[in-house]
Amino acid sequence: MAATLMDLPTTFTTRTARRLSLHPRDLYRLRDDGEVIELSRGVFRRADAPAASMPDFLAVAYRAPTAIICCISALVVHNLTDEMPRAVQIAVPREQRPPHVEYPPTEVFRFDSATFELGLSAVEAAPGEPVRIYSAERTVVDLMRLRRRLGEPLAFSALRRYLLRRDARPGELLSLARALDVLGPMRTALDLMSAE
């Protein structure tokens, strides 16, 4: 028995639709009729579902389930920058083959698998649909680690904004910096900012 639109989850992949016995021809008819929206190649969302607040994150999470939203993309979510990334930035374990996602544009960072899930958090990209993202603290530390690639001004600006938050935890920054081998630069940056 073939699945109907109501049998499908709010966000789903072609594989899920096939598992529910929905033929690709019927899936693409639903797309062409506007009953489902294609977020990315092979990732769909029912048109009658509540609006996704972060559809690009949702699409990337379905295309690369082990990936974690990181760097500038995470800074935006944590309100630690006004800069908008040109692509969704994700991290994958170093030994994993990087996913190739053309749309939405995606930039992949490869992180050490031993510390890959350190500071892992989640954000709701759509009602009831969380995606993996690094915590504000892990994101600030990663920006310090990647300051030569992403720019020192961005790293220091994110740290400054983080320290102005009521829920700032400098001790957690130092703990993560130690685990991610960037304790010296993080301690120096914290000392400079406390002297301002």
Same domain, 92 and 188: yes
Task: Report yes or no on 152 lying in a domain.
Answer: yes
Same domain, 61 and 136: yes
Same domain, 11 and 84: no
Residue type present at position 30 = L
Q: What is the pLDDT of residue 116?
A: 92
Same domain, 62 and 101: yes
Q: What is the pLDDT of residue 1?
A: 43
Q: What is the pLDDT of residue 4?
A: 67
Tokens 């304790």 belong to 183
- In whole angstroms, what is the distance from residue 59 CA to residue 43 CA? 6
From start to end of 114-177, where are the E strands? 120-126, 129-134
Distance from the Cα of residue 5 to its chain's centroid: 28
The total domain count for the chain is 2
Task: Report yes or no on 1 lying in a domain.
Answer: no
pTM recorded for the entire structure: 0.86
What percent of the chain is helix, strand and coil (3-state, nearest 5)?
Answer: 40, 20, 40
Same domain, 42 and 80: no
Same domain, 37 and 65: no
Residue type present at position 185 = P
- In whole angstroms, what is the distance from residue 87 CA to residue 160 CA? 24
Task: Report yes or no on 162 lying in a domain.
Answer: yes
Residue type present at position 174 = L
* Domain of 71, in residue numbers: 55-195
Mark the ranges of the chain whose per-residue pLDDT is less than 50. 1
Q: What is the pLDDT of residue 112?
A: 92
Same domain, 59 and 119: yes
Least Cα distance to 64 among 48, 80, 87, 85 occurs for 87
Same domain, 110 and 130: yes
Same domain, 112 and 169: yes
